[in-house]
Structure 1
Amino acid sequence: MLAQQRQQAILERVRSSGGVRVADLVRELGVSDMTIRRDLEVLAERGLLEKVHGGATAAGPGSTEEPGFAAKSARQQPEKEAIARQAARLVRPGTAIALSAGTTTWTLAHFVTDVPELTVITNSIRIADVFHRSPRADRTVVLTGGVRTPSDALVGPVAVAAIRGLHVDTLFLGVHGMSSRAGFTTPNLLEAETDRELVASAHRLVVPADHTKWGTVGISTIARLSEAHVVISDPGLPQEAREEISAQTGELVIAEPEQDRQVAGR
């Protein structure tokens, strides 16, 4: 196999799975460790991937790039549904929860519409609409005001003022990225401020985030990894990420996707 063909195969693998390990590529492509590392160096110099310890990951977006809700909702659907299903098990009747904006938290909302006597605080128009479409007389939904972002979050001073002084049992925090250095991040400065207020309001912080979020860094940090009580991800999360998250957070849960099941009402 020519170097160009080999590098194209590596790039396709990175793009399909989000990341690769040098050891796996050595075995699959039948070349030396040095050859694979040289290929990764070439691809990294061209900006097509990012080298990490022991392998490489897909090239991340800019720290201020913020995809719209529709674009994000089409990504990692099986993983997000598995994560949301696992997160829903943490919601108990008669409690107050907060759901920050995001496609994974939006998916989670579908799984908790039948929980009785629930109070929901959210800064997401999409999430509020999920509960609006499945009404319950014993449920209270509070939608903050604020400035609308590309991901349909309501942020800024109005949202912060609405959240300040509230106290919830659990916050399910949607994030743009997470890393050991930057923690949980967002590409939107106003959203970071609003999310930090949500974090301050919660007794327990749960972060449902699929494996593609690892290594992605937005411009502003919402919270440190150590502030999360539970992180829920999927089997695609690299081993080094699992070790880092497990060391810094209260608990890491890996949710297995169920390909044949769909979220009700979607």
Structure 2
Amino acid sequence: MYPTERRDALLRVLSQKGFVSIQDLAAQLNVSEITIRRDLTMLQRQGMVEKVAGGGRAAKSTSELAFMNKRVLQQAEKTAIAKRALSLIEPGMTISMSAGTTTWTLAKWIKPESLATGSGTPVAQLEVKERRSQARMKRESLTFVTNSTNIAIALQANGWRDIHLTGGQFRTPSDALVGPLAEQSARQLHADLLFLGAHGVDLEFGVSSPNLQEASVHRVLMERAETAVLLFDHTKWGGRGFAHLAMLDEVDVVITDASAEKDGDSDPHAVEIAELRRRGPEVIVARAETDDT
């Protein structure tokens, strides 16, 4: 049984029975208790289950967490991903950014001084165009498009001036702008680079969102971008949100984090990453500075 299939089965058991002990889950799914604990931890981070003493239970609500709650999760991983993403940005670019906490983290790191000094280790070469000069970035040299009010505020706080919001209906809990107006304005724009977040990433289901309207706007942003860069931390692996957004071979670059367990095991998502590379996207793996804590 693949990890994604196992987690789906685990969710079905919890939804049917409510609370189930770790021992019973391990027996039913024919895996170790350590594996069950890891699965419960991942699913709890996605807001799908609640870990309790000795076992787990279905979350009281399967809806997504609010932006204010999600932004404090996996902060080290999101920061590592953001730093690697910085070196894809070139002077003069128009950059679109989908709503999400990982893209919001990146927005906080997009500063003229960070881009000028080339923060982060240089990433593998993209085939889109040759790297431009690393001359000092001016605030006027980047244009931003986003359907996230939080991202727009973060960019403005860093001194950027050319920021365009799509407009549309304000949606909670993601604080995203969605609906026909957002889609219409997004269709009229072109971006060199899209930074795309995800609610879930699955090898078969692809990239997903918890909401149809949000997925629709983000899909338009993809269609209007020369290069789509998918940003997600390891807790999103195996997740399947309500709305399909794109298949993984539709994105050009993937930046995720190394998720080696603290007990010394190898990266539990090495198989998924290897398969993703075989499918075509350039895959960049960032390592959080707090991995050893």
TM range (shorter): 0.7 to 0.9
Question: For residue 145 of structure 2, what is the aligned residue in structure 1?
Answer: 121
Instruction: Describe the superposition over 1:51-99 as per-residue Cα deviations: whole angstroms up to 9, x where unpaired.
Output: 7xxx956446289622110111111100000000001110111110101
User: Of residues 271, 274, 287 in structure 2, which corresponds to 1:240?
Assistant: 271
Change over 3 Å in CA distance of 1:64–1:38 after alignment to 2: closer
Question: For residue 263 of structure 1, what is the aligned residue in structure 2?
Answer: none
* Distance in 2 (alpha carbons) for counterparts of 1:257 and 1:50: 22
* Distance in 2 (alpha carbons) for counterparts of 1:248 and 1:69: 32
1:31-180 equivalences in 2 (<5 Å): 40-42=26-28, 56=39, 58-59=42-43, 61=48, 65-114=63-112, 115-116=137-138, 117-136=141-160, 139-149=161-171, 150-180=173-203
Aligned AA for 1:69? F
Q: CA deviation at 1:42?
A: 3.5
Aligned AA for 2:26? L
User: Of residues 184, 209, 213 in structure 2, which corresponds to 1:190?
Assistant: 213
Q: CA deviation at 1:258?
A: 2.0
Change over 3 Å in CA distance of 1:144–1:212 after alignment to 2: same
Q: Which runs of 5+ in 2 are unaligned?
A: 1-6, 8-21, 49-58, 113-136, 260-266
* Distance in 2 (alpha carbons) for counterparts of 1:129 and 1:49: 42
* Distance in 2 (alpha carbons) for counterparts of 1:49 and 1:194: 39
Instruction: Describe the superposition over 1:213-243 as per-residue Cα deviations: whole angstroms up to 9, x where unpaired.
Output: 0101001111110011111111116112112
Q: Which runs of 5+ in 1 are unaligned?
A: 1-18, 20-35, 261-266
**Paired residue total:** 220
| Kept in 1: contact 2:110–2:158 (CA 8 A) | no
* Distance in 1 (alpha carbons) for counterparts of 2:231 and 2:190: 20
Aligned AA for 2:142? L
Instruction: Describe the superposition over 1:146-204 as per-residue Cα deviations: whole angstroms up to 9, x where unpaired.
Output: 12221111111110011012111010001101101111000111001101100000000
- Displaced runs of 4+ in structure 1, greater than 3 A? 36-39, 41-45, 48-51, 55-60
Comparing 122-131 with 63-72, greater Cα deviation is found at 63-72
| Kept in 2: contact 1:104–1:209 (CA 8 A) | yes
Percent identity between the aligned chains? 41
Change over 3 Å in CA distance of 1:220–1:79 after alignment to 2: same
* Distance in 1 (alpha carbons) for counterparts of 2:233 and 2:34: 19
Question: For residue 230 of structure 1, what is the aligned residue in structure 2?
Answer: 253
RMSD of Structure 2 on Structure 1 (CA): 3.0
TM-score (norm 1): 0.75
Q: CA deviation at 1:44?
A: 8.7
